[in-house]
Amino acid sequence: MKRQEWSEEQLEQLLKQLPSVKDKQTAKDIFQSIQYKRQINKKSRSWITPAVATVAALLIFALISPFIFQNFTTNKESSMDMSTAKISEETATIENDSANDNKMAEANSKQGSNQEQNTLANTHLKRDKKETFVASEHDAEEIITVGFTDPQAQNIIPISLEANEKKEKLEQIEEVNPETYIDELGPISYELSKTDILETDNPEEINIEYNGEPNVKSSSHDMLYQNAIIETFRWLDYKNAKLYTNEKEGIEFGQTGHKKDLVVKKETKKAYFLYQFDEDTLKLLVPSPDPYDSVDSAFEAMKKGLEERSLKPTIMNNITTIKVNENGDMLEIEFNQGVEFENSEPTIIMFESILLTAKEFGYKTVQFNGINIDKVGVMDVTKPIEVPYSPNPIEGN
């Protein structure tokens, strides 16, 4: 359909044909209406500007808030880290102090334990790894030798004690207390504990007065008491003991009867064996209860020991033969070929027990031949060795 086009004249004619419209508002109403619209528009403009500013501020805050939050968090975390680090440092310090205290306590305890162990080790070293089991002739004036009895009342054990220079030796022999030496020797008794000892005008004779119960009448104490007298006084070069009981002459012995005198032999022709009560006590060289016919037979016995008396062999089991040759006061010893000797405790015990046994048979020196070492304990085995003064020196009196 073709669009109709209107001319200005046609439009004007059409408008004239429209009904008339009259505004009933007065001039005052129109003025108030205009004023009201202006106030509305003003209020709208005054609200929009702050709103836009607020929105802009929010946008800006939204943009910068992550950085603020991050810095805040970082600072907070940093502060917390510093606090934590400080607490950790303080805790570590406390722990370190505690650890140091524990370490010090542990170290002190360990040191104390080590000292205790070292003390025990040194004690065992003195007891079990001695360089010598005998006293030399040079020590004769500084010691006294007494005969103790073992707990089985089988053996007389000679022990060399330090002498007190301020007292006479006979007085010290009377005052010997065996309980003083139990830790070192084991249970022992002293047969002469109830005995008075008096000198006589004869320097080779001693008076022995028994003041105890008459237990020497029993067979078990008969020989023990006599051997204790011999073993104690032969080292002081006495040759005879005059016997008394409660100021009466003689002592009644169960096996050998009434005796007024007892011969004290310096050379008993006895062999030496090893005695030890237990592992915590000293190893001791002890003479046999009975004499032997010859030094050869004594050495043979020393290879075997006396098990029934708890006396162990002193000659090592790798020694099958011992050749002896008497050369005046010197005894020459040669062991079987091929034996390798060491400077050890068993070797020391063997050599010194041989020296003591040689002394019991009257020899003054011993020469060991064919030895592959020069020193055994304190002995120079390249030359003749002087026999000892007495066995088993221990400290204290």
Residue 253 clears pLDDT 60, i.e. is over it = yes
- Tell which residue, 292, 156, 155, has the closest CA to residue 234: 156
41 vs 295, residue with greater confidence:
295
For the chain, percent of residues with pLDDT exceeding 70: 65
41 vs 13, residue with greater confidence:
13
CA atoms within 13 A on the CB side of 353: 31
20 vs 287, residue with greater confidence:
287
Residues found in the chain: 397
The pLDDT of residue 59 is: 54
CA atoms within 13 A on the CB side of 133: 29
The pLDDT of residue 172 is: 94
193 φ, ψ (degrees, to nearest 5): -65, -25
86 φ, ψ (degrees, to nearest 5): -65, -45
Q: Are 368 and 330 in contact (CB under 8 A)?
A: no
The pLDDT of residue 382 is: 94
The pLDDT of residue 15 is: 62
Reduce the DSSP state of residue 184 to 3 states and report it.
helix
384 φ, ψ (degrees, to nearest 5): -60, 140
Encoded tokens for 82:
């510093």
The pLDDT of residue 22 is: 54
For the chain, percent of residues with pLDDT exceeding 90: 56
The pLDDT of residue 337 is: 84
The pLDDT of residue 343 is: 96
The 10 Å CB-count burial string (b at 16+, else e) for 9-27 is eeeeeeeeeeeeeeeeeee
User: How is 235-298 classified by DSSP, letter by letter?
Assistant: GGT--EEEEEETTEE-EEETTTEEESEEE--S-----EEEE-SSTTS--EEEE-SS--SSHHHH
β-pairing verdict for 195-199 and 261-263? unpaired
d(CA 217, CA 32): 160
d(CA 247, CA 230): 21
d(CA 342, CA 177): 38
E strand segments, 282-350: 284-287, 322-327, 330-335
Question: What average pLDDT is seen over the chain?
Answer: 79
d(CA 288, CA 305): 9
- Tell which residue, 324, 326, 393, 335, has the closest CA to residue 364: 326
pLDDT digits (tens, 9 = 90+) for 204-250: 999 999 887 655 655 567 888 999 999 999 999 999 999 999 889 99
7 φ, ψ (degrees, to nearest 5): -95, 165
Number of neighbouring beta carbons within 10 Å of residue 238: 20
Gyration radius (Cα) of the chain, Å:
58
Q: Considering the entire predicted model, what is its pTM?
A: 0.68
pLDDT band at 9 (very low <50, low <70, confident <90, very high): low
Q: Which letter does DSSP use for residue 306 in this model?
A: B
The pLDDT of residue 206 is: 96
24 vs 327, residue with greater confidence:
327
Encoded tokens for 296:
């050869």
pLDDT band at 14 (very low <50, low <70, confident <90, very high): low
pLDDT band at 166 (very low <50, low <70, confident <90, very high): confident
d(CA 363, CA 351): 15
**Which residue in the block uniquely carries the two structure tokens 């004499």?**
291
The pLDDT of residue 68 is: 45
Enumerate residues 6+ apart whose C-beta is below 8 A from 302: 271, 272, 273, 313, 314, 315, 353, 354, 357
d(CA 192, CA 195): 5
